[in-house]
Structure 1
Amino acid sequence: MEPITDAGTAQLTLAAVLGITAVVLLIAAAKWHPFLALIAGAGVLGLTAGAAPGDTVDSFTTGLGTTAGNVGVLIALGSMIGALLAETGGADGIVNRIVTGVSGAALPWAMAGVASLIGLPLFFEVGVVLLVPIVLLVARRTDVGLLRLGIPALAGLSVLHGLVPPHPGPLVAISSLNADLGLTLLLGLVCAIPTVIIAGPVYGNFIAARVPVPVPPAASSPDRPDSGPAGGQDLVDRDDLGNPGAPGDLVDPQVGRRRNPGFWAAVLTVLLPVALMLARGIAELALPDGNGVRAALEVVGEPVVALLAGVFVAMWSLGRRAGFDRRETSAVIGGSLPPIAGILLIVAAGGGFKQVLVDAGVGTVIADAAQDANINALVLGFLVAVGIRVATGSATVATITAAGIVAPLAATLDRPEVSLLALAIGAGSLFFSHVNDAGFWLVKEYFGMTVGQTIKTWSVMETIISVVGFACVMLLSLIV
C-alpha cells in the first residue's frame, strides 16, 4: 500500500512525536478515556504528517476493523471461558485444592502456581477477586505472612497477562507484528516460568522481611475491586476502562454457584485451548509441510478454533457439572461480554492508531533510523513500551504504540524473532506500575498498604517482571 503522505523524515518524526504525546497527555493529564485519546492521537498524527483528513480516517477505520476482527473474537472467547471458570466455582476449587494441600514454606510457591494456572483464562481483576480472599484467609490462619503469599499470587497473574496469549496485550502485539501465535505462546510460557519464580516467591520472601504489612481485619477486606479509589477500573492490563464489575456481576443474581465442577475438570478445561495452540506451534516446528498430523493440528490449533473448543468444553465440564442448566450457562456466557466492551474498544482504536502510523510511513522512518543506529529491534520495542507505560499507566497503549513503531522491523526478522519481539513489547508494557495505574490502587486497597508500601512491593514487583521477562527474551534470541 502506498503511503498516505509524501512527507519527509523530519515531518514524519514530528508527527509521531506529537501523535504519541497527544495520547499520553489526554490519558495522563486530561483523564480522557484511552479509546477517545487514541482516536484524537491518530488524527493529530495523520494531519501533522500531511495526510488528507479523509485518508487519515480511512486508514484509522481500516486498522480498527482489522484489529477488532483478529483480536476481538479471541478476547471474547477467552472471557467466556473465564466467566464459566469463575461462576461455577471451578477457580475456587483449583485454589482450595492446591493451597490446602501444602503448608509452610511451600505455600508461596503454591500460590504462584495456582495464580499462573487460573491466570491463563482470567482477566487480571477477576483473578485478583478470586485469589485475594484466599490469600488473606491463609495469611490469617498461618504465620507465613501476607506479602510472602500475596506477591507470588500477584506475580503469577501479572506475568501471564503480560507475556502469554490469549490475553489482550500479547494478542495485540502478535496481530500488529504478524507473529505466529503458537510459537509466541510457547516462548511466552518458557519466559513466564523463571519470571514468576523470581518476581513471586523469591522477591516475596525478600520484601516481606523489609516491609511489614499486617493482615487487614476480616471486616475491612474489600469484597469487590471497586471498593478502592481506583478499583473496578482494572481489566486485563489495569487500564482506566470503566467499571467491569466483579465476577459475581457477570450473571443474573438468580444464577449462582451450585457446586464445584471438580478439580481436574476445571484444570483440563483451562489448559485445553493452550494445549491445542501449543500443539500447533510444535507441529509447525517439528513436522514437514504436507504432513497429515501437522495439517490437522494447524486447524485445531488455530486460535479461534482452540478457544471456541475451550468454550464448548467449558459449557459441559464446568457449567453442566456445576449444576447449571442451559439457560444459566447461556446467562454466564452472555454476561461475560459487557465487562470487556471497554478493552475491545481500546484494542480496536489502538489498531487504528497503529495503522495510521504504518500508512503514514512513520514506522518505516523509525525502523530505518534504528537500523542505521544499530539498535536491536527487541531493545527498541522494549524501551518504547516502557516509556509509554510509565507515562500513561496503560499497558495496552504501550503495547499498541510500540508494536506500531517497530512493525516495519518485524518484516526483516525471522519467525522466532518476531515472536520474541512481541514478548519484548509485552515485557516493557508491565514496567513500574505507579499512581497513574488503576492496578496500583487496586492492590493498595486490597492489602491495606500505604502508597509508599505499594511502590516498594507492587511497583517493584512489576518492574522485576518487566526486566526479568525481557532478559529471558534476549537469552532466547541467542538460541532460537
Structure 2
Amino acid sequence: MPHPDDAMAVTTAAEPITSAGHGQLAVAVLAGIAVLVLLITRWKLHAFLSLTLGSLVLGAAAGAPLDRVIDSFGAGLGSTVAGVGVLIALGAILGKLLADSGGADQIVDTVLARATPRRMPWAMLLIASIIGLPLFFEVGIVLLIPVVLLVAKRGGHSLVRIGLPALSGLSVMHGLVPPHPGPLVAIDAVDADLGLTLALGVLVAVPTAVVAGPVLGRYAARWVDVTPPEGLVPERPSDALDRRPGFGATVATVLLPVVLMLAKALVDIVVDDPDDTVQRVADIVGDPMIALLAAVLLGLFTLGGAAGLNRDGLARTVERALGPIAGILLIVGAGGGFKQVLIDAGVGDMILEISEDWNVSALLLGWLIAVGIRLATGSATVATISAAGLVAPLAADMSGTHVALLVLAIGAGSLFLSHVNDAGFWLVKEYFGMTVGQTLRTWSLMETVISVTALLWVLLLSLII
C-alpha cells in the first residue's frame, strides 16, 4: 500500500486547475452534486457512472479545461483504489471464508445458546458487531436476518426487539469502523492514522450501537409489532452443523487484524521512536494490508480447513469473494476521482477560507455535509467520499486525534435517516415484512439515532482528548 505521504502527494494539487472565484466554484459544486443525485435517484444510473459524470460536470462548471479534469479524476481514482482496494479485497475474502466455513453460524449458535430471553437483544448486538467487522453491510444483513427471523419465531420474541440490535451492530460497524470502504476512503482522503481511527471508532461504536440497538428496540417494539414472514424463515437441515470451525478459533481469526492494528497504534503512542525495533516491527505487522493478509492466511486454516474445504474449495471461496466487490471498488475509485476534482478545483481551499468566519467546528461541518449527501443520494459510501473530499483541507491544521475524529464525524453523518432512496431500506422492509411507515419508524429512526449519538460522542471526545 502506498505510504501516506505518497497519497498526499497525489491528493494535493500544485495549483488549482481553474481560476474560478468562490461564487463560480460554489455553483460548480452544487451542479456536480445535483447531477450526481439526479442520476442516482431519478434515473437509477450506477453510482460509478454517476460519480464519473458528476466529476466532469463539476470541472466544466468550474471552468477547468476538460483534459485537466480528466487527469485529476484519473489520479484520484488510481490513488484511492491503490490505497484501499487491496484492503477491501482482503476484507471480502475474510468475510466469505467466515460465511462459507460456517464460522458465522458457529458464532451465532454459541452466543444464542448462552443467552436468556431477556438478554437476547444484547446477544444479537454482540453477534452482529463481531460478524460485522469483516463483512460488508449488505452481506451481513443477508447472513444475519434469517437468523433473527428464526430466533424470533422459535423463541416467541418480538422481531423488532431483537432485530434492531442486530441491524444497529451491522450499521455502526459499516459506518464507523475500518476496514469497511467508507471509513477507509475517508481515512485516505484526510490522511488520518488508521490504527488511531480504528481505536476511536470502536470507542464511539460501542455506546452508539447500544443506544440505537437494545435501548431503542425496547421502545420501538411497543409501536411496531410484526411477525416473521413465513416464507423467509430458514429451515436448516439437521446435518448442517457437522463440520464447522470452533468458536474460539473463529473469533480469534476475525479479531486478529483489529488487534494488530490497535497494537501498532498503542506502540506508536508509547514508544514514539521510528528507529526503535519494537516500533518498526509493530508498524509492519500493524499495517492494515499485512494485518488483513495475516487474518486471511490464518482463516484458510482455522476457518476453511476446519470446515473441510480442500484446496479447490478454498480457491472457489476466494474467487467468489472477489467477484461481487468489483462494483464496490469502481464506486470507491470513482468517488476518489470526484474527491480529487473537488480538491484540484480549489473547492477545499474555498471551504477552508469561508469556514474561518463560521462558528461551526470542522467536525460538525463534516457531519452536516455527509448528512446532506446521504439524504439526497441514499448512499452512505457516496456521502462519506464526497464529504471527506470537501473537508479534507480542514484537517491540515488539526491534531492526529482530531483528524481521526473528523473521519468518524463524517461516517456518522453518512448514516443519517435511511429512507426510500436507500437499497438497505427496502431490504430491511422486505425481510421484516413491514410497511413503509413501519420501516420509517424503526429502521430509519435507528439510523438517525446512530448518526446523532455517534456525533455527540465524537464531539465529547474532541473536548477530552
TM tier, shorter chain? over 0.9
Rounded to whole Å, the distance in 1 between the matches of 2:299 and 2:401 is 32
- Verify: 1:427 aligned to 2:409, yes or no: no
Question: Contact conserved, 2:146 with 2:232, CA < 8 A, in 1?
Answer: no
Q: What pairs with 1:26-425 in structure 2 (closer than 5 Å)?
A: 26-217=39-230, 219-221=231-233, 259-289=243-273, 290-425=275-410
Q: Tell me the TM-score normalized by structure 2.
A: 0.94
Offset at 1:258? 7.0
**TM-aligned CA deviation for residue 32 of structure 1:** 1.1
Residue-pair matches, total? 447
Q: CA RMSD in A?
A: 1.3
Aligned position for 2:5: none
Q: Following TM superposition, by how much is the alpha carbon of 1:56 offset from its aligned partner in structure 2, in angstroms?
A: 0.4
Q: For 1:267-297, what per-residue CA distance to the aligned partner results, in whole angstroms no more than 9, with x for missing partners? A: 0000001110111111111212133212211
Spell out, residue by residue over 1:77-118, the C-alpha distance to the aligned partner (whole angstroms, 9 max, x if none): 000000000000000000010011111111100110110001
Task: After TM superposition, give the deviation of residue 221 of structure 1 in Å.
Answer: 4.1
Q: Residue type of the partner of 1:142?
A: G
| 1:215 shift after superposition | 2.5
The equivalent position to 1:465 in structure 2, one of 450, 457, 461, is 450
Cα pair distance change 1:55/1:257, threshold 3 Å? farther
The Cα shift of 1:265 comes to 0.9
Q: Which amino acid aligns with 1:314?
A: G
Check conservation: 2:129, 2:169, Cα contact below 8 A. yes
The alignment partner of 1:3 has SS state of coil
Shift in Å, 1:452: 0.5
2:103/2:247 contact within 8 Å kept: yes
Output the CA distance in 2 between the equivalents of 1:9 and 1:401.
Answer: 19
Distance in 1 (CA, whole Å) between partners of 2:126 and 2:260 is 21
Q: Return the letter of the residue paired with 2:398.
A: L
- Structure 1 residue 213 displacement after superposition: 1.3
Q: Which residue matches 1:449? A: 434
- Given that 1:258 and 1:324 are in contact with CA atoms closer than 8 Å, whether structure 2 keeps it comes out as no
Specify the code of the residue in structure 2 equivalent to 1:359.
D
Pair 1:100–1:467, CA change in 2 (3 A): same
Q: In 1, are the aligned partners of 2:112 and 2:120 still within 8 Å (CA)?
A: yes
- Hey, what does 1:227 align to over in structure 2? none
SS in 1 for 2:178: coil
SS of 1:336's equivalent in the other structure is helix
Letter in 2 for 1:20: I
CA shift for structure 1 position 257: 8.9
Find the aligned partners of 1:198 and 1:110 in 2 and give their Cα distance: 15
Q: What displacement does 1:220 show?
A: 4.4
Measured in 2, the distance between the counterparts of 1:258 and 1:222 equals: 18
1:245 paired residue number: none
Structure 2: 5+ residue runs without aligned partners? 1-13
Instruction: Label 1:186 to 1:132 Cα distance change in 2 as closer, same or farther (>3 A).
Output: same
Q: Distance in 2 between matches of 1:221 and 1:404?
A: 42
Higher mean C-alpha displacement, 206-215 vs 418-427: 206-215
Correspondence for 1:249:
none
Query: What do residues 453-474 of structure 1 show as CA deviations (whole Å, max 9, x unaligned)?
Result: 0000000000001110111111
1:15 alignment counterpart: 28
Task: Determine the C-alpha separation between the residues in 2 that align with 1:261 and 1:214.
Answer: 32
Q: Distance in 2 between matches of 1:207 and 1:478?
A: 32
The 1:220/1:80 distance shift into structure 2, 3 A limit, reads: closer
Normalised TM-score (structure 1): 0.91
Give the C-alpha shift of residue 132 in structure 1: 1.4
Contact 2:20 2:63 in 1 (8 A): yes
2:7 paired residue number: none
CA separation of 1:456/1:281 partners in 2, compared to 1, >3 Å: closer, same or farther? same
Shift of 1:361: 0.3
Identity level (%) = 58
Distance 1:190 1:297 in 2: 22
> Relative to structure 2, which stretch is displaced further, 434-443 or 121-130?
121-130
Unaligned runs of 5+ in 1: 224-255
**Paired letter, 2:20:** A
Q: Which shifted more, 128-137 or 421-430?
A: 128-137
For 1:165-194, what per-residue CA distance to the aligned partner results, in whole angstroms no more than 9, with x for missing partners? 000010010011111000000000000110
